[in-house]
Amino acid sequence: MKTESKLEKLLSQGHFVVSGEIGPPKHANPEGIKKHTALLKDYVDAMNLTDNQTAIVRLSSIAAGVHVLQAGGEPIIQMTVRDRNRIALQSDLLGAYSLGMRNVLCLSGDHQSFGNHPTAKNVHDVDSLQLIKIVKDLRDQKKFACGEELKGNEPRFFIGAAANPFADPFEFRVLRLEKKINAGADFIQTQCIFDMERFERFMAMVRERGLHKKAHIIAGVMPLKSAKAARYMQQSVAGMIVPDEIVNRMEKAADPKAEGVAICVEQIKHLKTIEGVAGVHIMAVMWEEIIPTIVQEAGLYPRPDAG
Amino acid sequence: MIIAEGKPLVEVAGLIQEARKVLVVGCGGCVTVCLAGGEKETGILAAALRLLRQKEGNPLETVEVTLTRQCDPEYVDMLEKYVTDDVDAIVSLACGVGVQFLAERYNKWVVPALNTKFAGGTVEHGVWEERCGLCGECILYKTGGICPIIRCSKSILNGPCGGSQNGKCEVNPETPCAWQLIYDRMQALGKLDLLMEIQPPKDWSKSRDGGPRKVVREDVRLA
């Protein structure tokens, strides 16, 4: 074990893990985060706290992580390189660790033009891959990004990275995943999977290169709430592929919400059979309360005890 | 070259509202090539400013001069004879460098008539595009001659990010993904293995940093 992370422990014990996601609010009241944590903590092994997702100002992921921890959940703080340079990123890593965070997901971050401050200056001092290496070097070399030795307690994070099998160029996606693993990623959370055929091809390439043995690959899923949501994901979200078949199913459904859950449960059951998939990450955006139902119906409840 | 584009006429007029006589100074360098601040544009701007002021019943006198370059003191000096006491302001149609060189040399109110955009080139007649981020430490040999610093919307050195789809950038469907271009080129050149190397964080101290950067060539200095 490299860290005190509960997520690492469960993964190393060979459990098929379940993670969820909580989007922090656009205000300073933490009640929603606490409520969602109470609702989810027995159904997921860890919860991602997004970092100003879609470049919209929200309560910070680290602060949200503290609320999750206090409410009994296992936080995974997301950290993008959009808003902070290497000084601020490392400072926040030290701070987050001191507050009990043990998992971090290193990301590029959505471009600021998508958010509510499109005239902001982005930072991108380092990229997500370089951030992975920074977190790893802090942990394993006790060194700051500048090479200076860290004297005292080092932050020992279980390091996450994202992979998107649905972005292009497809052939390079597995290689970039390999780069992230080489840089220090311990676990991977993928973009939402709708195109199962493409994901299967991706995983075949992953296995060919033995990457599933070097990092834990957690497959992303998203329950769809409506046909409109399905079409939106299909047409308007870059780096996302939603097959027509799924959109059609949502359109024909008498109860679209139930159909969305049914599709998600089928996907999870299928993902569980794919060699090299170590768990699922359920991104129920603005629909966190459906996660317990999905976890139960997918036969993933109760969750294992990390001891 | 440096690419610039004219500010709206009303904006420029607003910058010299108090002036009765202005020098309108063009530049024969980059801004002539990108059709923003050469002799022709200088004449057009001066005429437009005069017409506008005439319409407002507040006539403006203009003197138009186009220097070979505004970023070289030897040419900036040539403006001296036009900078008479009755000149209230100087309107520069150069890039930001030229505006500053004029302001440093002459004790007059100097205003920019252009917005300086980027270092780029002509991609088709009437269309210019950025190519260089002026980062101070060229890495084009690592990326097949395509600059991720300025052409990738996130300046990613280990790209592409998850927003690259069908060869386009997530930020704008018109913008090619720089990393798709890099990937295609490296593949065509049989050098994909180079992309597997993890690029370390960049030394931004070579880029915009503490104050203006300077290049000194002792071998060509006269004094």
User: Residues of CATH 3.40.50.2300 domain(s) within chain B?
Assistant: 2-118
Contact call for B196 and A130, based on CB within 8 A = no
Dist CA A192 CA A223 (whole Å): 9
Per-residue confidence (pLDDT) for residue A277, from 0 to 100: 98
Dist CA B162 CA A108 (whole Å): 9
Number of domains observed in the structure of chain A: 1
Alpha-carbon distance values, A112 to A94, A302, B171 (Å): 26, 39, 9
pLDDT exceeds 90 at position A145: yes
Alpha carbon of B180: minimum distance to chain A alpha carbons (Å): 6
Q: If one looks up domain B2-118 in CATH, what number appears?
A: 3.40.50.2300
CA neighbor of A150 nearest in space, from A80, A107, A79, A97: A97
Dist CA A41 CA A121 (whole Å): 37
Q: Residue A22 forms beta bridges with which residues?
A: A49
Phi-psi region at A105: left, alpha or beta (left = phi > 0; alpha = psi -120 to 50): beta
Tens digit of pLDDT for each residue in A50-92?
999 999 999 999 999 999 999 999 999 999 999 999 999 999 9
Alpha carbon of B16: minimum distance to chain A alpha carbons (Å): 28
Say if B156 is an interface residue toward chain A (CB within 8 Å).
Answer: yes
Contact call for B198 and A168, based on CB within 8 A = no
Contact call for B157 and A113, based on CB within 8 A = no
How many residue pairs from chains A and B have C-beta atoms closer than 8 A? 93
Dist CA A39 CA B39 (whole Å): 70
Say if A148 is an interface residue toward chain B (CB within 8 Å).
Answer: no
SS (H, E, C) A52-88: CHHHCCCCCHHHHHHHHHHCCCCEEEEEECCCCCHHH
Q: Give domain status of residue A302, yes or no.
A: no
Contact call for B164 and A125, based on CB within 8 A = no
For a pLDDT cut of 90, what percent of chain A falls above it?
Answer: 97
Tokens of A105: 């997901």
Tokens of B54: 């005439």
Q: Give domain status of residue A304, yes or no.
A: no
ipTM: 0.94
Per-residue confidence (pLDDT) for residue B65, from 0 to 100: 98
CA neighbor of A211 nearest in space, from A221, A203, A219: A203
Contact criterion met (CB below 8 Å) for A107 and A128: yes
pLDDT tier, A127 (very low <50, low <70, confident <90, very high otherwise) = very high
Tokens of B40: 């022709």
pLDDT exceeds 80 at position A250: yes
Question: Which CATH number goes with the domain that contains A185?
Answer: 3.20.20.220
Say if B159 is an interface residue toward chain A (CB within 8 Å).
Answer: yes
Dist CA A29 CA A296 (whole Å): 30
Higher pLDDT, B19 or B210: B19
Contact call for A168 and B177, based on CB within 8 A = yes
Contact call for B166 and A133, based on CB within 8 A = no
Contact criterion met (CB below 8 Å) for A250 and A226: yes
Which of A53, A78, A144, A168 is the best substitution to test chain B (most B C-beta atoms within 10 A)? Answer: A168
| A residues 220-239 lying closer than 8 A (beta carbon) to B | 238-239
Say if B162 is an interface residue toward chain A (CB within 8 Å).
Answer: yes
pLDDT tier, B208 (very low <50, low <70, confident <90, very high otherwise) = confident
Average pLDDT for B51-79: 98
Q: Give domain status of residue A1, yes or no.
A: no
pLDDT tier, B18 (very low <50, low <70, confident <90, very high otherwise) = very high
Contact call for B158 and A168, based on CB within 8 A = no
Alpha carbon of A137: minimum distance to chain B alpha carbons (Å): 12
Dist CA A62 CA B101 (whole Å): 48
Tens digit of pLDDT for each residue in B99-153?
999 999 999 999 999 999 999 999 999 999 999 999 999 999 999 999 999 999 9
Alpha carbon of A105: minimum distance to chain B alpha carbons (Å): 14
Give the DSSP H or E segment for B50.
Answer: helix B39-55
Contact call for A127 and B156, based on CB within 8 A = yes
Average pLDDT for A159-171: 96
Dist CA B210 CA B223 (whole Å): 27
Per-residue confidence (pLDDT) for residue A306, from 0 to 100: 83
Q: Could you write out the DSSP letters of every residue in B67-130?
A: ES-SSSHHHHGGGGGG--TT--EEEE-S-HHHHHHHHHHSSSEEEESEEEEEEEEEEETTEEEE
pLDDT exceeds 80 at position A276: yes
Contact call for A239 and B164, based on CB within 8 A = yes
SS (H, E, C) chain A: CCCCCHHHHHHHCCCCEEEEEECCCCCCCCHHHHHHHHHHCCCCCEEEECCCHHHCCCCCHHHHHHHHHHCCCCEEEEEECCCCCHHHHHHHHHHHHHCCCCEEEEECCCCHHHCCCCCCCCCCCCCHHHHHHHHHHHHHHCECCCCCECCCCCCCCEEEEEECCCCCCHHHHHHHHHHHHHHCCCEEEEEECCCHHHHHHHHHHHHHCCHHHCCEEEEEECCCCCHHHHHHHHHHCCCCCCCHHHHHHHHHCCCHHHHHHHHHHHHHHHHHHCCCEEEEEECCCCCHHHHHHHHHHCCCCCCCCCC
pLDDT exceeds 80 at position A307: no
Q: Which domain holds residue A187?
A: 6-297
